[in-house]
Amino acid sequence: MNAGWWILTRRFSDRQKSGKTSRAWLLYERRNFNLNTAMYLKRFFVEGLAHASYLFGADGEAAVVDPKRDIEDYLEEAKREGFKIVAIFNSHPHADFASGFRELAQRTGAKIYISHLAPAKYEPIAAKDGGRVKIGSLEVELLESPGHSPDSFSFLVREDGQPTTVFTGDLLFVNDVGRPDLRDGDEDPSALAGKLYDSLHEKILTLPDDVKVYPAHGAGSLCGRAISDAPFSLVGQERKLNWAMQIKDRNEFVKQMTANLPDRPAYFSYGVALNLEGAKPFSALPPLDEMTQDELRDAAVVIDVRPPAQFGAGHFPDSINIGLGSPSFSTWTGFMVPGEKAIAFVVGSAAEAQKARLELARIGFDNVLGYVQASALTETGQLTQMSVEQLKQNLQDNGTLLLDVRTPTEWKDSHIEGARHVPLSAFAKALPELPNDRKIAVICGSGYRSSIATSLLRARGYREVANVAGGMSAFSEQGN
């Protein structure tokens, strides 16, 4: 990437975080860096899901690519910039988030485009390879690009006939490529990996070096492995530096794409089915009301969204502690809770309940009964928060079983001698069988994931369990 593009990428990222990516700013920066484009573009990023969506347009018309569930900011931005949203481009039926395309189409009259191969249960425009769509003075070419899914499309924007921008969905990320295993119920991952190779080399890497690449996910997404936090890239940059693009042999590429893949949340299958149907309008969800403690018992799952220390001090019996303070709140909920289950929250404030509701709606979990403020609980249990000093003493006394719930990579990098390793993601399939006659201390990197694990174990009947406050970070700071 040339110096100008690199600087603009970083400036865009900084401005995006502060909400200052105005049209005037973008036009100024384009002139400053001699970027010959008349297209307006804004990126919208959902941190926890690492999901990127886009509003782009010219001459009074705009389109949205891979919209998130809550759509008000697209509408507000389009109105502010004088655009009419006329098209919605779905790169594929996403697994990791619930899309708001149906509500966006209902409220704008925009046409929805998705692959002709997608078994959609709504009425889209069936995208076919080589099709063209006009957005003002822009022309969008539809590129069939299977690999992450059998029905993936990319969208190439041409200005004055010249290709300038490509929206790659989950096919190509910055410094990474999409996983081929998330739709294994539809097609064998090895076959999809082969198509991934072909789509990259025949559709994307044939584009000019200076074509800008805008993917559907950033760093932290489970749809890839090593995605960069840069908001966009260039085709030439990815050709030279993307690790997967350095694998020239197709067979070796397939082998590496199907090996050592991260665990995937159970809700991914739920998400694909939901997006093939189309999620109900987020704005139509009923109000989230405060409940009584007795009404909590009607919920299949009670999620306490407070920090581990507050949960440990007093919580509703058998509730699960998945803290809202982490960007991974919705992802861990999707790992541990089936999407159709009735959920209730225990919160520190009504504002937390509304935020938790939004985060779960973004993955399509709409069956939320309500919330109870923790201060109103009269029936509570406690969960020990063990300091690292206490842990070290207990380990010396040989009386405590230490359970490490970090990822295999974290475990391999460093771990405490004698600990047992069970990644938290494995708890979604079955809780580990642990002895009932020993004290159990659970540790992760910071105390967040271990609190999820500990609350699950406590709900299963393990009484002598403790969460290690501060996790391995605190343990390392204390020294051996």
CA gap 435, 440 in Å, rounded: 9
Sequence-distant (≥ 6) Cβ neighbours of residue 337 within 8 angstroms: 301, 303, 320, 343, 365
The SS3 of residue 421 is strand
Burial (CB count <10 Å: 0-12, 13-18, 19+), residue 163: middle
CA gap 392, 397 in Å, rounded: 9
Sequence ranges of the chain with CATH classification 3.40.250.10: 285-376, 384-478
CA gap 185, 189 in Å, rounded: 9
Q: What is the pLDDT of residues 245-254, one digit of tens each?
A: 999 999 999 9
Between these two residues, 50 and 13, which has the higher pLDDT value?
Answer: 50
The dihedral built from the CA positions of residue 283, 223, 179 and 230, taken in this order, carries a sign that is positive
Helices (H), 137-242: 189-199, 235-241
Residue 308: name the closest of 423, 454, 434, 473 by CA. Answer: 454
Sequence-distant (≥ 6) Cβ neighbours of residue 130 within 8 angstroms: 141, 142, 143
Q: Which CATH superfamily is domain 36-275 in?
A: Ribonuclease Z/Hydroxyacylglutathione hydrolase-like (3.60.15.10)
The SS3 of residue 345 is strand
Q: Are 411 and 421 in contact (CB under 8 A)?
A: yes
pLDDT of amino acid 32: 41
pLDDT interval class at 31 (50, 70, 90): very low
Q: How many CA atoms lie within 13 A of 273 on its CB side?
A: 9
The dihedral built from the CA positions of residue 264, 268, 269 and 270, taken in this order, carries a sign that is positive
CA gap 238, 224 in Å, rounded: 15
Whole-structure pTM value: 0.89
CA gap 40, 206 in Å, rounded: 25
Sequence ranges of the chain with CATH classification 3.60.15.10: 36-275
The order of strands in the sheet holding 40-46 is 40-46, 51-58, 61-65, 84-89, 111-115, 125-127
The SS3 of residue 359 is helix
What CATH number has the domain spanning 384-478?
3.40.250.10
- Which residues make beta-bridge pairs with 142? 155
Sequence-distant (≥ 6) Cβ neighbours of residue 187 within 8 angstroms: 150
Mean pLDDT of the chain, nearest integer: 92
Helices (H), 154-234: 189-199
Q: Residue 402, Cβ neighbours under 10 Å: how many?
A: 20
Question: Strands, E, within 314-363: which ranges?
Answer: 320-321, 343-347
pLDDT interval class at 399 (50, 70, 90): confident
- Which residues make beta-bridge pairs with 465? 440
The SS3 of residue 344 is strand
pLDDT interval class at 141 (50, 70, 90): very high
pLDDT interval class at 33 (50, 70, 90): very low
Between these two residues, 218 and 7, which has the higher pLDDT value?
Answer: 218
Selected from 3.30.70.100, 2.60.120.10, 3.40.50.2000, 3.40.250.10, the CATH number assigned to the domain covering 285-376 reads 3.40.250.10
Amino acid at 150: P
Hunting for tokens 């769509």 — which residue is that? 133
Q: What is the pLDDT of residues 102-114, one digit of tens each?
A: 999 999 999 999 9
Look up residue 290 and give its DSSP letter: B
Question: Strands, E, within 351-411: which ranges?
Answer: 368-373, 384-386, 400-404
pLDDT interval class at 16 (50, 70, 90): low
pLDDT of amino acid 17: 54
Q: What is the pLDDT of residues 366-379, one digit of tens each?
A: 999 999 999 999 98
pLDDT of amino acid 185: 84
pLDDT of amino acid 130: 98
The SS3 of residue 367 is coil
The SS3 of residue 315 is strand
Q: What is the pLDDT of residues 323-365, one digit of tens each?
A: 999 999 999 999 999 999 999 999 999 999 999 999 999 999 9
pLDDT of amino acid 298: 86
Mean pLDDT of 59-74: 98
